[in-house]
Amino acid sequence: MKKLIVVLIVVPFAVWIAQATDHKSAGESNLTTNGDASNDDCADRLHMYNDDFRSYVRDEESQRVPNQPLTITAEHNGGIEVSTWDQPEFSIKLCKQVASNDEAEGLRVLGEVKLAVNGGKVSISAPQSDEYHSLGTLLLVKAPRNATVSLSVHNGGVSLKHFIGTAEAHAQNGGISFQQSSGKLTAEAQNGGVSIKDCGGEIDANVQNGGLSISLPEHWEGKGLEARAHNGGLMVAVPKNFSGGLEVVGSEHTPIVCKDSICDDAQRTWDSGHKMFRLGGGNPQIRATTENGGIVIKERNGSRSEM
């Protein structure tokens, strides 16, 4: 029987993925990571439940790592959350939880799940899941200001919140969320969505088989945003007092819905097989495109009207 792992990052414009894997299991396991928790308590951040298992055990471990470019790889089906703090080194915490029918077995597996730090590489060493247990992990990373990180997940999510620095986020069968973050940020997601909210700096986002959700600040501080989706929808929320330039492009047959008073001052063009929606003049800082997906442009906290 295939195991179904559901990983959910609970943030505004939540990004989620449900993916079947080849590991055997007694049933369906679900993992929830709470990105809005006000502390780093693993009991608040990571929750697992499975109707077929009676015992749940959890533990955590932490390490400090010198400030250097880090490559961080999540455990299969695990997630990564990164924020900036006012310390000169990294803090890396591994939250881990095991569901099983036997507490002793769960504790044995839990003891084999280790945070592995080798120079500039951070990963998780863990036994393969089987029909007797199910494992959930989450990496909580606090980074120095202007740190450089490369983040990878498979069947899980990546979240940057209050991050300042350089980050590359890669998700296979999972989602990526950037919130209140700035610097040079890159998002590459396949079979999952990307959410960008109240950010700045220089951001480049590419989504294959997933949606793009962008919620803009009143003024974008930095170079700008380039975002592209293929086989997925695009939603852009624009503040009423938005002072920058926005360009949204869809293919010829892309349905576009514009909402509220922001539509009144927009420029709309249809040429060369594309539809273009523009706010502001000159060279727009914010550019977003989609192929094979619908477009919704709305005022933040506004209501709907058809374009």
Q: How confident is the model at residue 32 (pLDDT cuts 50, 70, 90)?
A: low
Distance CA(192)–CA(30), nearest Å, equals 17
Over 60: is that where the pLDDT of 175 sits?
yes
Distance CA(166)–CA(123), nearest Å, equals 19
Q: Give the pLDDT confidence of 229-257 residue by residue, as tens digits.
A: 999 999 999 998 898 899 999 987 888 88
| Confidence (pLDDT) at 71 | 98
pTM score, whole prediction:
0.87
Q: Give the pLDDT confidence of 53-68 residue by residue, as tens digits.
A: 989 999 999 999 999 9
Distance CA(95)–CA(115), nearest Å, equals 10
Q: How confident is the model at residue 214 (pLDDT cuts 50, 70, 90)?
A: very high
Alpha carbon distances (Å) from 200 to 204, 233, 247 = 11, 22, 16
β-sheet bridge partners, residue 203 = 185, 225
Over 70: is that where the pLDDT of 13 sits?
no
The rounded Cα 15 to chain-centroid distance in angstroms is 6
Over 80: is that where the pLDDT of 272 sits?
no
Q: Give the pLDDT confidence of 118-134 residue by residue, as tens digits.
A: 999 999 999 887 788 88
